[in-house]
Structure 1
């Protein structure tokens, strides 16, 4: 059976975690001093120098979820393909066997992706290394739930992109969902009081969930892995919700200890990032540096049904508006499960 060996390991692995949770309310939270935080957040302007000059970047939301294209078992979901696991309440093992395992982007060409960005005048790329579904799009040694070990593709596209970006002089950054993870039983993903974005359909008992277990066993280790092995110019975190100060600080420390010049966005949480990230909207002129992230059609991940593409005139106008206010424009595309950019996005 597909995943039989991996499943057996994971069952024992997570069973041990649940037993631990019964005897542990939480790992001790520490108050991080201002001086400790400043040690790892200093020299912000020096780090941001190249990014402020870049002005234009490519955001890529790509994961095994693109195989669904916002549809599951004949039902369309009017949301994001990135979130189809939660919208359709797809069980853990079914997601691995019917979404991840068949994923095989045979048309993926890292050089072509990077050349497309460069020809559009983009100076950097940020791609999803792990989105909220919890499945890594690189060859992670931390978890077998990754594109090399868990899909038909069996290659590392992030490594190929790293080489292509170096070849064409493009900076590369990684999106990493540090707080949400639907493939880990302890990722509580608390967003506020009585507001959770965890995998409750698989693991409904929140009293047994210890977020620090998830952070220590997966999130911290994968971030360290990405920074050490793939040399990112940017770590682009997301949806921090009720992330603790200690959790944000640990991520900050991991990144800056291994790569002091790596830029970190504000979504690391607890005011430890280098810049702001307004989403789908252009702000008024502000004092702080910002990066507007915006989709070309309406969705972040690929959706066959989303045909509402922005015109070239709109994109040029947005870029000019944002640049005039001192910000950057991070324009998103969602590649297909075959590994190509949708034709309308290329035409734009």
Structure 2
């Protein structure tokens, strides 16, 4: 039996990040998975391919990312739990379907895993997929560890089912290809047969229908924003007067740096894991207790721009440092030493 199909509730296992994501999907009861392989996402699809050979999970390698998303969408519109995986540049291929899918919604649940590749280890660019959250109006979750990757998949399926929307799980190479201890939970029974109910006023996006669907999407995002403010994936750690806001793998680098530098009492950390819609109210509460803030994130200044906006809205003039001041670069990936040096000099 494939190791990820074994129940082993409460036991721990050393898993690759991509294996942890696959296990999370199995624990959530995923019944349909599709993928177009591409590093750093490929091992997720490989697990599903192997598991489908000895279980009732349906899996396919699709001809491209758009087709993979459309296949998963069809199953999700029949009420099934579905997952589609791809690398960051593949999301460009799937974007045509994704933008309208945000309007139509789904009957079941759909988690879209997109693996970004800072430093371009195996890619032609290092685009930051978080902007697709704003562009499409869909929730984005970002794990910071391998163990979180598994747990966040479970949450992503619940979130998708709650809002009847696809949820984007955005990872990076250091999450996908790191190994970590993962605690196994129970495997939900898969529901493998669904039923499609015609709903032309949701699924047929002619202009007159889409005009009604867009306000509904905005309403869902407003509710998701309130949820992000209270989510355990967005949390404040410490009570110092100097703030650090971080996401993804950067959270581990920040925590290690503060530990090694012995700066627990000086800093407070806002870890952002539910990054779109951005947790504005939580961030504003965090900023009100800070004298200055450092934003630590790989890629584009996504969090940094959101933090500056939050500060402006409540009239705070505290300095927000990050890529804008050149402390961090928009290029390549971070490493623990780089983050430690910036924090030590902050």
Same fold (TM over 0.5): no
Structure with more of its chain in strand, by fraction: 2
User: How high is the TM-score relative to the length of structure 1?
Assistant: 0.29
TM-score (norm 2): 0.29
Identify which of structures 1 and 2 has the higher relative contact order when contacts are C-alpha pairs closer than 8 Å and 6+ apart: 1
